Structure 1
């Protein structure tokens, strides 16, 4: 993880989401000056972020100069999965850049933990997903985060259908031990896996929600770079809050 003295975690994603939220409140569009005021940003900062969001297709600029959501040209909102991903992808990209780590988003759907999005890069490669999440929920922070947030019945039902496969020498393969770890391993709601899915890789995750659908947001990095965990925790929690709010935009 990058050790950046004086760096304010999540500043860029906070600006992006404040502006996305401000834009979402105006179905017919709003000018940059008003959006900057509502987002609590200077006009220069707002113009810079609005330009980047427009270039990437998250916003669209109207002929009169106002801005609307890129996937919602003022017609009441598009709630497709792709539209939702478009709204939150800037948060994952900013999380990746702020922590110098690949970012992941999962959701618990139809009894399975499924990856919805991965944002990585040349300097922040994702972990080699050599085993699908259907068979590895117990061995990843993303999966364990979901399992910890489930109620007892739902967790028991999931574990009754999934073998705790031995993926590395550090993988937890006994149900009772896994349950103990979920209750006591790391200050809630943060969950970690320490080389349990892939030797040499550590993952940290926190919960997110799309309405009533539970999910998890996490980052992965080399085990020898596991330091400044307080910064990671802060950034993940802040980003998870923004992702949850972004998923509910227009809902």
Structure 2
């Protein structure tokens, strides 16, 4: 008769936590991890502290992501590696400008938000229409569209109607193209949501274009205009961080 192997329960629990964090595209909280793994919350916190200490997880403001030590085990999802490197840049930008910060990327023909860093004093925009449908009306979306080769832009516009979200939204392709010609900082003056202003600059993940953007109430638009150089400097930091993430 073959005897059952001796298993160490704490190791198994830690591995379940790593697997669960690794399956997420965004940071996941301790409470969410406890629910998803069926562990008691105190046990979850104890294991998470150990995994963070050993470098297998990293604790961000809104949850946990895989840490650098996971590189020794294989290849974690690229978006998590990017998040691990760019989150401190976004946090610093939010704190300096007093504005919510966003990173988006053009992925498989769609504009997708990779991360958002906000706070009680710098809340995010209510994304009542997703960026996949409203790229023409947001600073972050227009910034990505401006970077696309013409054939990709034409393909995107053929698949995405220019929906009228506010009286300021561009609903005709020629008007959108005129707005895309602006630069180097792309602005959204209440095109997506009345009362909200956004500014965005391009970033690149290899060949994939993306954007770094910030949002404020429209009455504070001058804050974004004054912070333009800071936004450009942060985009250069993100480009360097992305180039290091293989």
Relative to the length of structure 2, the TM-score reads: 0.70
1:58 touches 1:71 (CA, 8 Å); kept in 2? Answer: no
SS of the equivalent of 1:136 reads helix
The answer on 1:194 being equivalent to 2:189 is yes
Deviation of residue 250 (structure 1)? 4.6
Q: Out of 140, 159, 166, which is 1:168 matched to?
A: 166
Q: Which residue of 1 aligns with 2:221?
A: 226
Which has the higher relative contact order, 1 or 2, with Cα contacts under 8 A spaced 6 or more apart?
Answer: 1
SS of 1:122's partner is: coil
For the pair 1:91 / 2:86, whether they are aligned, the reply is no
Superposed, which structure 2 residues align to 1:22-61 within 5 Å? 60=55
Partner of 1:71: 68
Relative distance call for 1:58 and 1:137 in structure 2 (3 A) is: farther
Say whether residues 1:247 and 2:242 are aligned partners: yes
- Gapped runs of 5+ residues in structure 1? 1-56, 61-68
Question: 1:209 maps to what in 2?
Answer: 204
Deviation at 1:189, TM superposition (A): 2.4
For 1:7-46, what per-residue CA distance to the aligned partner results, in whole angstroms no more than 9, with x for missing partners?
xxxxxxxxxxxxxxxxxxxxxxxxxxxxxxxxxxxxxxxx
The separation in 1 between residues aligned to 2:137 and 2:234, in whole angstroms, is 23
Deviation, structure 1 residue 248? 2.0
C-alpha distance 219-77 of structure 1, shift in aligned 2 (>3 A) = farther
1:122 alignment partner in structure 2: 120
Contact 2:199 2:224 in 1 (8 A): no
Deviation at residue 211 of structure 1 after TM alignment: 1.3
Q: Distance in 1 between matches of 2:53 and 2:151?
A: 39
Indicate how the Cα distance of structure 1 residues 165 and 189 shifts in structure 2: closer, same or farther if over 3 A, else same.
Answer: same
Residue 198 of structure 1, CA deviation? 0.4
How many residue pairs get aligned? The number is 186
The corresponding residue for 1:159 is 157
Alignment partner, residue 100 of structure 1:
98
- Relative to structure 1, is the Cα distance of residues 131 and 234 closer, same or farther in structure 2, using a 3 angstrom cutoff? same
Query: 1:121 aligns to what SS in structure 2?
Result: coil
Q: Which runs of 5+ in 2 are unaligned?
A: 1-51, 56-65
Deviation at 1:79, TM superposition (A): 5.1
The whole-number CA distance in structure 1 between the counterparts of 2:197 and 2:245 is 35
- For residues 53 and 173 of structure 2, the distance between their equivalents in structure 1, rounded to whole angstroms, comes to 43
The structure with more radius of gyration: 2
Whole-angstrom distance in 1 between the partners of 2:123 and 2:225: 22
Determine if contact 1:59/1:71 at 8 Å carries over to the other structure: no
TM-score (structure 1 length as normaliser): 0.69
Query: Matches of 1:58 and 1:238 in 2, distance apart?
Result: 31
For 1:86 and 1:102, locate their aligned partners in 2 and report how far apart those are by CA, in whole Å.
18
Q: How far 1:83 sits from its partner (Å)? A: 2.1
Q: Which residue of 2 aligns with 1:138?
A: 136
| C-alpha deviation, 1:129, in angstroms | 0.5
